[in-house]
């Protein structure tokens, strides 16, 4: 029954943990994609039970597209990591490389599913703020310019602070373009005093970030951070220095901005 497909997700998560603890091949190599695929199914089903529909039941084809798009998006960040190493992968063989690609595909769906779950719980429905008149066309043009600079500059500099540009650049660049093209935009929501989507995405980023770090911490195939000059680097939650968790907020926002811009391009092409 469609109401209980989340049970399959939960069983998948439990199996992934057992395979990890008992080092069961080849499943131990696929711990991260297994546990995240299970998480996505479980959360999607919880959303369905809360409101009668969900991302997977409403738009199955779009959900598949999210998985494919997620690999492309994360590959861009891997390119930045190649030029300014912030992390490295450990215990990676052929199976783990395949598992890594599958794991990359879960990033976007996980953030969006978690966002919709938070919205289904109505946590931020009543959170209203006055309209922000500062956000106008000049502000949007400035944001696009800063975002464009932040996209390019990380290829020419080194240091932990470069990642501030990486985790904000696509949001600053694409969200104003979405605003100007009439697409979903965080800047528009903030301007109108509607913080439901920005806050849901922000908290979803932090939740997923915590889970990424937790499940990576015990995995055999995992990543390790390389930046030694990060402030408060010795204060960590799992492997991540505590200040690094703040990066998951703009990261979730830029995934949202990138996705909506790509969706706009596809819709525009379909109308021609």
Q: pLDDT tens-digit profile of 188-222? A: 999 988 899 999 999 999 999 999 999 999 888 88
Q: What secondary structure letter does DSSP report for 133? A: T
pLDDT class of 271 with cuts at 50, 70, 90: low
pLDDT tens per residue across span 23-47: 999 999 999 999 999 999 999 999 9
pLDDT for position 27? 92
> What number of residues does the chain have?
272
- What phi and psi values does residue 114 have, to the nearest 5 degrees? -65, -40
The CA-atom distances, in angstroms, between 95 and each of 19, 32, 104, 129 are: 15, 12, 14, 49
Instruction: With a cut of 90, say whether residue 96 has pLDDT above it.
Output: no
Cβ pair 196, 189 in contact under 8 A: yes
- Per the rule left: phi > 0, alpha: psi between -120 and 50, beta: everything else, 182 is left
Rounded CA separation 201/197 (Å): 6
Residue 93, judged by CB atoms within 10 A of its CB (0-12, 13-18, 19+), counts as exposed
pLDDT for position 272? 53
Rounded CA separation 240/213 (Å): 7
What's the chain's average pLDDT? 92
């Amino acid at each position: 029954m469609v109401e209980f497909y989340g049970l399959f997700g939960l069983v998948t998560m439990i199996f992934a943990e057992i395979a990890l603890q008992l080092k069961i091949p080849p499943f131990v190599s696929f711990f991260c994609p297994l546990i995240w695929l299970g998480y996505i199914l479980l959360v999607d089903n919880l959303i369905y039970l809360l409101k009668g529909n969900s991302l997977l039941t409403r738009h199955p084809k779009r959900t598949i597209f999210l998985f494919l798009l997620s690999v492309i998006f994360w590959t861009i960040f891997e390119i930045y990591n190649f030029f300014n190493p912030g992390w490295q992968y450990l215990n990676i063989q052929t199976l783990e490389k395949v598992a890594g690609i599958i794991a990359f595909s879960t990033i976007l769906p996980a953030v969006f599913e978690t966002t919709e779950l938070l919205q289904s719980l109505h946590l931020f429905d009543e959170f209203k703020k006055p309209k922000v008149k500062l956000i106008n066309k000049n502000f949007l043009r400035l944001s696009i310019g800063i975002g464009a600079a932040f996209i390019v500059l990380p290829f020419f500099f080194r240091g932990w602070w470069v990642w501030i540009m990486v985790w904000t650049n696509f949001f600053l660049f694409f969200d104003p373009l979405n605003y100007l093209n009439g697409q979903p935009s965080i800047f528009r929501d903030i301007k109108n005093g509607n913080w439901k989507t920005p806050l849901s995405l922000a908290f979803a980023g932090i939740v997923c970030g915590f889970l990424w770090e937790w499940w990576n911490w015990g995995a055999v195939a995992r990543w390790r951070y390389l930046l030694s000059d990060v402030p408060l680097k010795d204060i960590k939650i799992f492997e991540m220095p505590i200040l690094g968790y703040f990066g998951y907020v703009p990261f979730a926002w830029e995934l949202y901005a990138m996705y909506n811009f790509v969706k706009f391009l596809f819709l525009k092409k379909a109308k021609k």
